[in-house]
Amino acid sequence: MKIEMDKLTPKEIVAELDKYIIGQNKAKRSVAIALRNRYRRTRLPEELRDEVAPKNIIMIGPTGVGKTEIAKRLARLTGAPFIKVEATKYTEVGYVGRDVESMVRDLMSVGISLVRQEFFETVQQEAEKRAEEALLDLLLPGIKKPVRSVRPGDTEPIVQEIATTEDTGSTRERFREKLRKGELDEKMVEINITKNSMPQIEIFSGGMNLEDLDINLGNSLGNIFGGKKKKKNVTVKQAKEVLFNDERNKLIDMDRVAEIAKERVEEMGIIFIDEIDKIASSNNRMGADVSREGVQRDILPIVEGSKVNTRHGMIDTAHILFIAAGAFHMSKPSDLIPELQGRFPLRVELQALTSKDFQQILTQPKNALIRQYIELLKTEEVTLDFKDEAITRLSEIATDVNTKTENIGARRLHTIMESLLEDVSFHAPDMKGQTIEITRQYVDDRLNAIIEDRDVTRFIL
């Protein structure tokens, strides 16, 4: 996905988020401004550019109200590298658990994947041509045609002339036509599959842990000695995919991929730290609170801006955007250490969802739940017809159950919809051609018994 930040004004960003997320306008505005500020920063003189720090955000609100979805959609909108991590997965240095720096390594891995996929798209046609020629060589050993190959960045194609007769050339073309039509898909061929001759080993020593060094010894030796070739008999269809992947990998420059990914991670990366309220400390600073504060102090340098060592080089985190989120039921943002609070200058409170919000969530977003179920059942030739009264009733039930039990926000709709349509989903293959009307009565008949039994509701809905 090409990043064109100049076309993403705050209004346009909010409009895009509105397509998938209901309500929470204040949070949408905050992230839209933070994103636009990243573009504005790139337009500054170089001496001032490095001085402008990202405006990190803390989202406060119960689960299921859209905190994670806002961050995810923001990343997809820009094509920026994005990861979600949970603060509770990390432990203070010296204890068993994940090192906080691993979040940056994970982000770099995402960046590599994104850029590599973009490169793959640019070389797809050339890779398909090469794979086809390699497959024809396997099918017709000794009968070859001139090969024209172009690598990205080459100014002239490389042409390898191989003498052929008119008869062998026409045979090759006949096989090419059959190959493209799929007539040879089940024919068996023998291909060479490259495997690393050494196991993948990561080494570490001294005070460094496994993730600090992050050196894959197996890959390094595999690159030096070329790996181990293994012959395998596969169908033409399978061979086509293997050869295509091999040719595609040969055509891209992984050093260039890593270089672009590193730049994109440093300038556009987004790290979403969920459950940050779980590592907030109370005032007594005893027992588990000491460990929580230790995790905060380990996260602090990453958010402030530091150099993190990865297998692709040092990553500077100074301009990565951090979005933290938490319910803050048992704690408050001021329970975080002051230094970490200062690194999240924007605080946005997300509102609990109402019955009206649930109605909109069921029907309005591009990925609306009702639309998902309609399309799923349509694959079985079963038509679902949701009446407005049924949608209203489903919204009322979701609100009621969230109020009486644990408030899990919009996620409640998933469990309610599954319970509502369980019978239809189970019997759908035997109901081809039928139309099922989902009315208020239909909803009540299938959900009232569960709702009225509060003890059962805690486990089912």
- pLDDT at 79 (0 to 100): 84
**52 and 103 co-located in one domain:** yes
Give rounded-to-5 percent helix, strand, coil for the chain. 55, 15, 30
Residues 413 and 319 in one domain: no
Q: Are residues 14 and 101 in the same domain?
A: yes
Q: What is d(CA 192, CA 239) in angstroms, rounded to the nearest whole number?
A: 10
Query: Is residue 283 predicted with pLDDT exceeding 90?
Result: no
Q: Is the pLDDT of residue 383 over 90?
A: yes
Answer yes or no: are the C-beta atoms of 308 and 103 closer than 8 Å. Answer: no
Indicate the pLDDT class of residue 113, thresholds 50, 70 and 90. Answer: very high
CATH number of the domain enclosing 427: 1.10.8.60
DSSP-assigned letters across all residues of 152-185:
TT-SS-EEE-----HHHHHHHHHHHHHHHHTTTT
Give CA angle at 445 (439, 449), nearest 5°. Answer: 140
Is position 223 within any domain? no
Please check whether residues 421 and 341 belong to one and the same domain.
no
Same domain, residue pair 338 and 314: yes
In this predicted structure, which of 85-94, 323-332, 408-417 has the lowest mean pLDDT?
Answer: 85-94
Determine, yes or no, domain membership for 217. Answer: no
Question: Do 386 and 343 belong to one domain?
Answer: no
pLDDT band at 281 (very low <50, low <70, confident <90, very high): confident
Report the distance separating Cα 355 and Cα 22, nearest Å: 12
What is residue 77's predicted lDDT score, i.e. its pLDDT? 85
What per-residue confidence (pLDDT) applies to 64?
Answer: 84
Alpha carbon of 349 to those of 62, 360, 365: distances in Å? Answer: 10, 20, 22
Q: Please, which residues have CB within 8 angstroms of residue 257's CB and are 6 or more apart in sequence?
A: 112, 115, 116, 119
Asked which of 315, 332, 349 is the last residue of a domain, the reply is 349
Split at pLDDT 50, 70, 90, the class of 329 is confident
The verdict on 103 and 9 lying in the same domain is: yes
CATH code, 310: 3.40.50.300
Give the pLDDT band of residue 288 (cuts 50, 70, 90).
low
Residues contacting 154, CB < 8 A, separation 6+? none
Q: Which residues of 404-437 are buried (b: 16+ CB within 10 A; e: fewer)?
A: eeebbbbebbeebbeebbeebeeebeebeeeebe
Q: What is the pLDDT of residues 221-268, one digit of tens each?
A: 444 445 567 788 888 888 888 888 888 888 989 999 999 999 999 988
Q: Is the pLDDT of residue 310 over 50?
A: yes
Q: Count of domains in the chain? A: 2
Domain-embedded: residue 426: yes
Mean pLDDT for the stretch of residues 410-423: 90
For residue 317, being part of any structural domain is answered with yes
Strand locations in 116-244 (E): 147-149, 158-160, 188-195, 228-235
pLDDT tens-digit series, residues 182-221: 888 888 888 877 654 344 433 333 334 444 444 444 444 4
Q: What are phi and psi of 150, to 5 degrees?
A: -130, 125
Q: With CA atoms as reference, report the closest residue to 91 among 296, 274, 333, 276.
A: 296
Domain contains 246? no
pLDDT band at 169 (very low <50, low <70, confident <90, very high): low
CA distance linking residue 90 with residue 357, whole number of Å? 34
The C-alpha atoms of residue 267 and residue 1 are separated, in whole angstroms, by: 16
Q: Residue 288 burial (CB < 10 Å; 0-12/13-18/19+)? A: exposed
269 shares its domain with 329: yes
Answer whether residue 215 is part of any domain.
Answer: no
Within this chain, do residues 98 and 35 fall inside the same structural domain, yes or no?
Answer: yes
Q: Residue 92 corresponds to which tokens in the numbers above?
A: 């203070």
- Its domain, for residue 63, covers 5-111+261-349
Query: Could you tell me if 272 and 336 lie in one domain?
Result: yes
- For residues 427 and 445, state if they share a domain: yes
10 and 98 share one domain: yes
Other beta carbons within 10 angstroms of residue 321's beta carbon come to 24
CA angle 280, 309, 47 (to 5 degrees): 85
**Residue 210 confidence (pLDDT):** 44
Last residue in a domain, options 349, 383, 404:
349
CB 95 within 8 A of CB 298: no
Burial of 140 (0-12, 13-18, 19+ CB in 10 A): middle
pTM for the model stands at 0.75
Q: Is residue 117 part of a domain?
A: no
Is 251 a member of any domain? no
Domain boundary, last residue among 306, 329, 349: 349
Alpha carbon 285 to chain centroid distance?
Answer: 37
